[in-house]
Structure 1
């Protein structure tokens, strides 16, 4: 698997709770390395790399500049799915829906993760 050009790594309160959440909404989790003391996980979506989650205290130790940064993010992340309607129907009861909208004929479904990250789901497209 080829890594993406930019790799999101979310700081989370509880890595296993985050993995459990993402697995419920269709992601697959893999260990990120061989160190059993490093609570970092890789998450795949539809077989491709999506993001990583890392327990907040370990991430703050790894990058001390983040020591006072709250969990969550200002902004949002987008998840392109192969079947928008089926995926949204599947996850709707499992997530905190914050907005549904349409822009230029494309529907977007926004939800938050347990750690406050905002994810917008849209139909995948070719550029």
Structure 2
């Protein structure tokens, strides 16, 4: 697996709850290490690295500059899938949908994860 140029690491309230959510919608979590104070988990989508989740308290200890930040983000992440309609039909009953739209002929489906991060689903394409 090739490492991405930028790897998002999301601060979450409960790492296992986030892993359970993402696995439910088609991601795979790599095993955690043996240190209970370091519960960072890498998540794959298909065979590709997608993101990491890390308990917010542990992330604040690791990077004190984040000490007063709350989980969630102003912005969004996009998830490119091979079969937009099929994937959206599969996850629709499992997520909190926030918006569906078509922009420049491309279908978009937005939902939030348990910590309020917004994810937009799009059809995979070549640039």
1:58 and 2:58 matched: yes
Alignment: residue pair count:
127
RMSD of aligned alpha carbons:
1.0
Deviating above 6 A after TM superposition, structure 1's stretches of 4 or more consecutive aligned residues are none
Q: CA deviation at 1:47?
A: 1.2
Instruction: Describe the superposition over 1:59-118 as per-residue Cα deviations: whole angstroms up to 9, x where unpaired.
Output: 000000001111000000000000000000000000000000011000010000000000
| TM-score, normalised with respect to structure 2 | 0.96
Correspondence list, 1:39-54, <5 A: 39-54=39-54
Cα distance in 1 for partners of 2:126, 2:10 equals: 26
Instruction: Describe the superposition over 1:16-53 as per-residue Cα deviations: whole angstroms up to 9, x where unpaired.
Output: 00000000000000035554431100000011000000
2:106 corresponds in structure 1 to 106
Task: Indicate the SS of the match to 1:31.
Answer: coil
2:31 corresponds in structure 1 to 31
Moved more, 71-80 or 32-41: 32-41
2:97 corresponds in structure 1 to 97
Moved more, 25-34 or 69-78: 25-34
1:72 and 2:58 matched: no
Task: Indicate the SS of the match to 2:30.
Answer: strand
Structure 1 unpaired stretches of 5+: none
Structure 2 unpaired stretches of 5+: none
1:21 corresponds in structure 2 to 21
Contact 1:29 1:41 in 2 (8 A): yes
Moved more, 26-35 or 94-103: 26-35
| TM-score, normalised with respect to structure 1 | 0.96
